[in-house]
Amino acid sequence: NTYQSRSKTPYRKKTRRNYDLDKLKQEKLAVALEKQKAGKKLNLFEARLILEQSKEY
């Protein structure tokens, strides 16, 4: 079985990467929300982050 022969190391690295990406996403979201409050234009990425966040709650 190829599944059993896999090592667990890549999974841990992926988890760390996911954590870093989530952290970055939260920082970008905070900036986007500040821009929105200030009435500045949002780019598509920022608008999408805000929409995703509002869907979760």
pLDDT top residue among 16 and 6: 16
Residue 2: both structure tokens together: 């190829």
User: Residue 11 pLDDT more than 90?
Assistant: no
Q: What is the pLDDT of residue 12?
A: 61
Cβ–Cβ under 8 Å, residues 50 and 32:
yes
| The model's pTM | 0.67
Q: How far apart are CA 25 and CA 36, in angstroms?
A: 16
Provide the pLDDT for residue 14: 74
pLDDT in the model for residue 43 = 95
Q: What is the pLDDT of residues 24-56, one digit of tens each?
A: 999 999 999 999 999 999 999 999 999 998 887
Instruction: Tell the residue number behind the tokens 């995703």, with chain if given.
Output: 52
